[in-house]
Amino acid sequence: MPIYHTLGQIPKKRHTVFRKPNGGIYAEELMGHEGFTGTSALLYHTHPPTTVKSVKRLCETAYEADPDRALRHRHFLTAQAKKGGSPTLGRTPLLFNQDIAMLYVEPDQEPEKQDTHFYRNAQADELVYVAKGQGVLQSVFGDLPFGEGDYLVIHRGILHQYRFDPAGDAPKLVVFESRGHVRWPKRYRNEFGQLKEGAPYSERDIRVPQKLTTHDEMGDFRLVVKQYDGLNEMVLDHHPFDVVGWDGYFYPWAFNIRDFEPIVGRVHQPPPVHQTFEGDGFVVCSFCPRPYDFDPNAVPAPYNHSNVDSDEVLYYASSEFMSRKGIEFGSVTHHPDGIPHGPHPGRAEASIGATHTNELAVMMDSFRPLKVAKQAIAIEDPSYHKSWIDQQHAGFNPPTT
| Residues forming the site for Fe ion (CB under 5 A) | 312
Residue 172: strand pairing partners? 132
Alpha carbon distance 214, 8 (integer Å): 9
Residue 284: strand pairing partners? 277, 364
Query: Which residue, 125 or 312, has its beta carbon nearer to Fe ion?
Result: 312
Rg over CA atoms, the chain: 22
- How far is CA 113 from each of CA 132, 165, 166, 244, rounded to the nearest angstrom? 18, 12, 10, 28
Query: Which residue, 108 or 312, has its beta carbon nearer to Fe ion?
Result: 312
Query: Which residue, 277 or 321, has its beta carbon nearer to Fe ion?
Result: 321
Min dist CB 32 to Fe ion, Å, is 35
- Give kind and range of the element (H or E) at residue 312: strand 311-316
- The DSSP string of 314-383 is EEESSS--TT-SS--TTEEEEE-TTS-B-PPTTHHHHHTT--EE---EEEEEESS--EEBGGGGGGB-TT
The three-state secondary structure class of 38 is coil
- How far is CA 94 from each of CA 205, 288, 332, rounded to the nearest angstrom? 30, 23, 9
Q: Side chain identity at 206, as an amino acid letter?
A: I
Query: Which residue, 312 or 381, has its beta carbon nearer to Fe ion?
Result: 312
Min dist CB 304 to Fe ion, Å, is 9
Query: Which residue, 86 or 310, has its beta carbon nearer to Fe ion?
Result: 310
Min dist CB 149 to Fe ion, Å, is 22
- Check: CB of residue 97 under 8 Å from CB of residue 366: yes
Min dist CB 347 to Fe ion, Å, is 13
Query: Which residue, 144 or 322, has its beta carbon nearer to Fe ion?
Result: 322
Ranked by CB distance to Fe ion, the top (closest) residue is: 312
Rounded to 5 degrees, φ, ψ at 52 are -85, 130
Rounded to 5 degrees, φ, ψ at 306 are -100, 110
Cα–Cα–Cα angle for 286, 104, 125, rounded to 5 degrees: 70
Query: Which residue, 255 or 315, has its beta carbon nearer to Fe ion?
Result: 315
Min dist CB 187 to Fe ion, Å, is 20
Min dist CB 289 to Fe ion, Å, is 19
Strand (E) positions, 165-217? Answer: 172-178
Min dist CB 301 to Fe ion, Å, is 11
Min dist CB 311 to Fe ion, Å, is 10
Query: Which residue, 128 or 284, has its beta carbon nearer to Fe ion?
Result: 284
Query: Which residue, 150 or 312, has its beta carbon nearer to Fe ion?
Result: 312
Among candidate residues 278, 254, 258, the one with its CA nearest the CA of residue 151: 254
Min dist CB 307 to Fe ion, Å, is 6
